[in-house]
Amino acid sequence: VQLQASGGGLVQAGGSLRLSCAASGRTFSRYVVGWFRQAPGKEREFVAAMTWDDNTYYADSVKGRFTISRDNAKNTVDLQMNSLKPEDTAVYYCAAGSTRVIRTARTYDYWGQGTQVTVSS
């Protein structure tokens, strides 16, 4: 599976961005798809994930502000990010796999290249 993340950019605090992760080579529909982020000098951290049967999981820091969704027809998984804060600034990565340890990055098999999100104060 090849993953391509897009939609990052520069936004002011309180603004919104929508990230998209497109898959090629294999359908998303039977995988867990997750979003992770990595800020400079920090470890990669879990943001959100959706299972093949549409259960969703969020990090406490983004719950109520971010929404993950899947479009099986387009083979994409999006991350709608609202009420953005400067601390959301990071490179965001999408990942896919058959993991059962959804919040742990190393358990995912496939990764996109990352897209930069910068939130100014």
Phi, psi of 86 (to 5 degrees): -55, -30
Q: pLDDT value at position 1?
A: 87
Can you give the pLDDT at residue 43? 96
Residue stretches of the chain with pLDDT short of 50: none
Distance between CA 7 and CA 56 in Å, rounded? 21
The two structure tokens encoding residue 105: 């990055």
| CA–CA distance, 51 with 69 (Å, rounded to integer) | 10
pLDDT value, residue 29: 78
Q: pLDDT per residue over 104-113, tens digit each? A: 999 999 999 9
- Taking the alpha carbons at both ends of the chain, their separation in whole angstroms is 37
Other CB atoms within 10 A of residue 72 CB: 12
